[in-house]
Amino acid sequence: MRIFLFVFFCFFSAFAQNQSIKIVINSITSSDSLSFRKFSINYSLSNLTSNKISFFLNPEIVHAGSGGSMSTFVSSKLYQESEEFPLHSILSSTSKNIELPFNFENLPEGKEKNEILKKYLKEVLGMDIDKEIEEFSKNKDENYRLKKSSEELMNSIMALEPKETKYYTKIYYWDKKRYHKIDELEYYINENSNCYLELYIVLLKEHFKERMTDVDFKTLLNIPNFIEGWFTSNKVEINFRE
């Protein structure tokens, strides 16, 4: 047992010493209006090595909650004390009401209802439904899907020079609702509790082979110091108090 613990400790010590990227939440500031609280999450990515490094990442995009291991975005987690809360239900990337217009369900089916839905999707969720339909029809072509996926991945390659640090800001909005229910699970944000935000990135390489053209994947393999790994930030308090 002692030998196992020693090997276990040595493995993670070596891993920690070989960290090539550091993601840090530098500060979280907030400002209030009558209907919502605005949070500015200021964070940074640093190259800890003496070499230029590259990796798949869109650092300006922060998913509210896990973006999945095959995502090229930054992901975020919310905690109340030590319990993880559903960040995607509590914080939003927009200050607009994310609910459909009042009485929408009772409107008769037809052009007027469709136009209201299209406007809602575009203004609130940033989805252009006409463009989505066009893309969907193109996506029936497997070659198109592969080329599109490969192009998006190649465009998401980020590089950091030796010891370079880049800074970013993510804006979240809270509608000041404390009670949230998801399916059968209930959550309540206690104004007297401590809440924390955490960021993390999952950087992959070979796992994306099936989503890339042979030419692009060959180009990828020739990029020196292309980094993989799971990197987690510090936890920083986020203010939900009155």
**pLDDT at residue 193 above 80?**
yes
Cβ atoms 72, 58 nearer than 8 A: yes
Domain-embedded: residue 13: no
CA torsion angle 111 112 113 117 (round to 10): 90
- Percent of the chain exceeding pLDDT 70 equals 74
The dihedral sign for the CA sequence 85, 89, 93, 95: negative
Confidence of residue 16 (pLDDT cuts 50, 70, 90): very low
Domain-embedded: residue 124: no
Domain-embedded: residue 151: yes
**pLDDT at residue 102 above 70?**
no
Question: Tokens 């070499």 map to which residue?
Answer: 51
Domain-embedded: residue 29: yes
Domain that holds residue 40: 19-95+143-237
Q: What is the mean pLDDT of residues 20-24?
A: 97
How many distinct structural domains can be found in the chain?
1
**pLDDT at residue 192 above 50?**
yes
Confidence of residue 92 (pLDDT cuts 50, 70, 90): confident
Q: How far from each other are the two terminal CA atoms of the chain, in whole angstroms?
A: 50
pLDDT at 160: 98
Domain-embedded: residue 46: yes
Q: Which residue, among 99, 125, 130, has the nearest Cα to 114 in the 3D structure?
A: 130
What's the pTM value of the predicted model, to 2 decimals? Answer: 0.77
**pLDDT at residue 176 above 50?**
yes
Q: What is the helix (H) or strand (E) element at residue 124, kind and residue range?
A: helix 111-124
Specify the DSSP class assigned to residue 34.
S
